[in-house]
Amino acid sequence: MANGTNKLALISSRGTLDWAYPPFILSTAAAAMGWEVGIFFTFYGLPLLKKDLTATVSPLGNPAMPMKMPFGSEGFQNFNWPIPNVLMANIPGFENVATGLMKKTFKNKGVATVNELRDVAVDLGVKLIGCQMTMDVFGFKKEEFIDEAEVGGAAMFLEYASDANVSLFI
C-alpha cells in the first residue's frame, strides 16, 4: 500500500481482443475507486499501446471460446457455436469473422470498446509502461505509442509493484 492508497500493478502480456479487456477493465475500475494503477505492457501486450489500436481475436487455440451470434432471436444469440480448430485453421479470413462477431456481440451487450477503456484509463491517470526490451526485439518505436505511454524495464516495473496490494500477470 502506497501512502494509504491501494495500488494495482498489472502486467499485460497478450494483445488479442479478448485478452486486451482484462487489464483495461481492472485498471479503470481500480482507478475509479481511487487506487493508484500501473500496467506494464510486454511481449504481445505491447501493441495495446499503439496509437492505432487494432486488437483482433483468434479462436485458434482457444478451445473454450464460444462463438456467439450478435443477431437473431435470443435463443439463437445464446447458442454456443462449436467451431472446431481444424475448420478455423483452413478458412481464410476466419479471424476477421471471429473478431467482427466478438466486437458486435460486446457492443450489443453494452461493453465498452478496448479503445474507449484505454481512453478512460488515460483519463484516470493510469500509468502505462511499455517494455523497452520487447520494443527492441519486435521493432516498436515510442512514437508509435500514445503520448501517455512511458517506457521502462523489469526493474522499473518491479520497483513500481513492490508496494502494490494487488499484482496480476495477464
Binding site for other proteins (CB under 8 A): 6, 25, 28-29, 31-35, 109-112, 117, 120, 124
**Shortest CB 34 distance to other proteins, Å:** 5
Q: At residue 37, what are phi and psi to the nearest 5 degrees?
A: -135, 135
**Grid cell at residue 53:** 489500436
Q: At what angle do helices 17-32 and 114-123 cross, to 10 degrees?
A: 30
Shortest reach from residue 31's CB to other proteins, in Å: 8
Tell me whether residue 2 or residue 32 sits nearer to other proteins (CB atom).
Answer: 32
Question: How far, CA to CA in Å, does 19 sit from each of 11, 24, 25?
Answer: 12, 10, 11
Q: Cβ of residue 64: shortest distance to other proteins, in angstroms? A: 21
Residue 151: which H helix or E strand, with range? strand 150-152
Shortest separation between residue 8's beta carbon and other proteins, angstroms: 11
**Judged by CB, which is closer to other proteins: 20, or 88?**
20
Measured from the CB of residue 112, what is the shortest distance to other proteins in angstroms?
A: 6
Nearest residue (CB) to other proteins, 165 versus 167: 165
Query: Considering beta carbons, is residue 5 or 162 the nearer one to other proteins?
Result: 5
* Number of neighbouring beta carbons within 10 Å of residue 86: 8
Own/partner long-range contacts of 82-88 (Cβ < 8 Å, ≥24 apart) = 83/59, 85/59, 85/60, 85/61, 88/58, 88/59, 88/60
In the bound state with other proteins, the residue whose beta carbon lies nearer, of 68 and 131, is 68
Q: Give the helix/strand (H/E) hosting 152.
A: strand 150-152
